[in-house]
Amino acid sequence: MTPDSTGPFPGPPPFPHGSPRPAPFSPDDLTVVVPVRDDPLIYRCLASVDLPCPVVVSTNGSPSWFLEGLTAYAKAVPRVTVLSAPESGIGLAYNHAIEHAVTPLVLLMDSDCVFEPGAVAAMLAEASHGLVKGRVRFETSGRGSRLVAAARRLTEDPLVTKKVNAYSPPLLYRTDIVDRMGGYHFDTAMKWREDRDFELRRRRSGLPVRLVPEAVVWHKPLSVRDDLRSVRAYGAGQAHGESLKLLPAMSLPHEVRKAVTVVRRGARRGEVAAGLYAALRNLVVVASRGTALRRRRGAK
């Protein structure tokens, strides 16, 4: 397979020709960033960070009771800093934390995920590549969550899709690479799909992503109902991104081809139900995006 910016065998790191590779990074060079609103699983996430690096919890629109709990936690764990913003939005929370960080590297994480032991260290060891991606796996607690986990694996696991992207979590990157990606980290106007804009700018810049397959984070179990709620939010976020001219218009034929592809992938792997559900998820994104666009036109 020919190395490229989206395949599993990335090209050379994004350093000027002839420049020396930087010395290995240490935990002091890395800040873990976790945006959160009111998710109690944040404490499980924080406990899974097994390197002595700074951690910034960036709250957005959080209730006072939740902020009080986080503040008390941070007093007991000095490497954890809590930032607060009254407005909601993951992009806003990411930017707030990254601006606060004094390290050359940041690692983006979700509050409802936990790092496997050694995952942070594995990603840090590859930090000289500029952009480093781990893998998300889903915990299960019943039939519905097993279906969701299998479908997500068919569409999101780079070991299955043979494609690597810069979606988070977990995503580690050198903060200065955004100078080659439009000069900003995340657009604060986007409430959802902020990492889609990041990924598209990454592709346009030609920056490769280094996959570290052993760097795994585990997402909490998702029921089918909760998963589809997230999928509908993706569609609404896509519509919002299109209205802001940040995301290209979604192509229905392309999305149908993606749905067919994942059904076939599931059939090849003996996971027919997961393939069908993954295709349904894709079509729900299209439908929710269309609904959001119609509502926007009607509001004008």
pLDDT at 191: 75
The answer on pLDDT for 114 being more than 50 is: yes
Mean pLDDT of the region 163-168: 94
Percent of the chain with pLDDT over 90: 82
Tokens representing 131 are 């952009």
Which residues share a beta bridge with 83? 58
**Running DSSP on this structure, what letter comes out for residue 129?**
G
Interval 284-293: pLDDT, tens:
999 999 999 9
pTM for this prediction:
0.88
Give the orientation angle of helix 272-299 with respect to helix 224-243, to 10 degrees: 40
Residue keyed to tokens 């601006």 = 99
pLDDT at 300: 65
Q: CB-based burial of residue 10 (10 Å sphere; 0-12 exposed, 13-18 middle, 19+ buried)?
A: buried
pLDDT at 14: 44
- Distance (Å, rounded) from C-alpha 110 to C-alpha 24? 26
Mean pLDDT of the region 214-223: 98
Question: Distances from the Cα of 134 to the Cαs of 31, 182, 198, in angstroms?
Answer: 16, 24, 16
- Give the closest residue to 175 by CA, choosing from 272, 87, 102: 102
Question: Distances from the Cα of 233 to the Cαs of 71, 121, 189, 237, 257, in angstroms?
Answer: 30, 32, 15, 6, 22
Q: How many residues does the chain have?
A: 300
Q: What is the band of 2 on the pLDDT scale with cuts at 50, 70, 90?
A: very low
Which residues share a beta bridge with 136? 217
pLDDT at 229: 95
pLDDT at 283: 92
Is pLDDT larger for residue 5 or for residue 181? 181
Confirm if 164 and 213 have CB atoms less than 8 A apart. Answer: no
Mean pLDDT of the region 219-239: 95
Tokens representing 193 are 């799909």
Mean pLDDT of the region 243-248: 91
- Distance (Å, rounded) from C-alpha 108 to C-alpha 195? 11
Interval 170-215: pLDDT, tens:
999 999 999 999 999 999 888 788 889 999 999 999 999 999 999 9
221 in the Ramachandran plot: left (φ > 0), alpha (ψ -120 to 50) or beta?
beta
Is pLDDT larger for residue 105 or for residue 193? 105
Confirm if 127 and 121 have CB atoms less than 8 A apart. Answer: no
Write down the mean pLDDT value for the chain. 90
Q: What is the band of 26 on the pLDDT scale with cuts at 50, 70, 90?
A: very high
**Running DSSP on this structure, what letter comes out for residue 35?**
E
Interval 257-284: pLDDT, tens:
999 999 999 999 999 999 999 999 999 9
Task: Please give the angle made by the CA atoms of 57, 42 and 44, to the nearest 5 degrees.
Answer: 130
The answer on pLDDT for 80 being more than 80 is: yes
